[in-house]
Amino acid sequence: MRSKEDKDLISYDDVRYSESDKDVIDVKTCRILRPLGFKVLLSKLNSEKDELKALEMIRAYLESEKGATTDNAIINLLADEKYPKMRFVNITDEGQLWPFLLNECKIEVEQRKQHKDRALYYLSTFEARWQRGKASTGSQGGAKRGRSNMHFESVLIGDEAKKKQTLERLHKLIDGRKGVSVALAIREAVEGGLITKPTFRQVKAEFGDIGAESGYNNAYRNNAFTSEERNGVQKILNEDGAPKQ
C-alpha cells in the first residue's frame, strides 16, 4: 500500500496497458519528467546575473513540465514493469506540481558546496511572486479570475521588442494553418525559450481557426516531427536581425 506522501502519484488502476508504443495516457504525478531540463535550469541559474531573465527561465521550465511526456521508465519502476510500452503525459495542476518542482530545485541547489546563494534567491523570489499572484487572482472573484492570462501575449518571453518579434514570426508560421503545423511551430517556440507553453484556447484566440483541439494536442504530445520540419521552423523563428522597435 502506498503512503500518504504518494497520494499524487499515478494510480495503477487508471493506467491501461497497450501493445502500441505510440499510445499516450493522461496521468497526474508530482515528479520530474524532464530531468535534462531540470539540470539545465539549475546550471544556468548559477551564472545568470539578470534577475528578470532568471525568473523567466524558471517559469519556462515549470511550464515545460505541465503536459510533459515521458516513456515507461517511471511507470516500470513503480509497477514492476507492468506497462512496458506505454508513454504518459502529465496533466497535474500547477498548484500541485510547481511547489513540488521548486522544492526539488532548492534541495538540489542546497547540496552544492558553492555558487548556490544566487540560484536560491531566484527560486525563492519566483515562488513568492507566484504565490502572491495566486492569492491576488483568487481574491478577485470568479468573474475576473485569470482574465489577463487568457491572452497569448502572457506566454511571450523577453522584452517588448523581443515579444513583438516572436509573435510576428509565429503568425508567419501559423496563419492559415491547422493541427500539426500549428503544434510544430508552438512546440519549437517553447523549446527554443521564446514562449512558455500556451493552452489551446490561448493559441486559438490569437491565431484563429487552428483545427480541432484533439488533433493539436496529439501532434504536440507525440512530437513526431522530422528534422527537416523542425529545422525549417527554427530558421524562421531565429532569423537574423534585431527586433523591430
CA distances from 163 to 27, 141, 152, 167 (A): 33, 30, 11, 6
- 68-103 residue pLDDT tens: 665 545 555 555 555 544 566 777 778 888 888 898
Residue at 194 is within a domain: yes
The grid cell for 127 is 515562488
**pLDDT of res. 8:** 42
- 106-115 residue pLDDT tens: 888 888 766 6
In terms of Cβ atoms closer than 10 Å to its own Cβ (0-12, 13-18, 19+), residue 50 is exposed
241 versus 59: which is more confidently predicted? 59
Q: Are residues 97 and 166 in the same domain?
A: no
Q: Are residues 128 and 187 in the same domain?
A: no
Residue at a domain's end among 139, 168, 198: 139
**pLDDT of res. 224:** 78
pLDDT exceeds cutoff 70 at 147:
no
Residue range(s) defining the domain that contains residue 190: 149-237
Q: Are residues 113 and 9 in the same domain?
A: yes
Tell me the whole-structure pTM to 2 decimals.
Answer: 0.47
Q: Are residues 134 and 176 in the same domain?
A: no
- 183-202 residue pLDDT tens: 999 999 988 888 888 888 88
What are the φ/ψ torsions at residue 25 (nearest 5 degrees)? -115, 135
Q: Are residues 85 and 157 in the same domain?
A: no
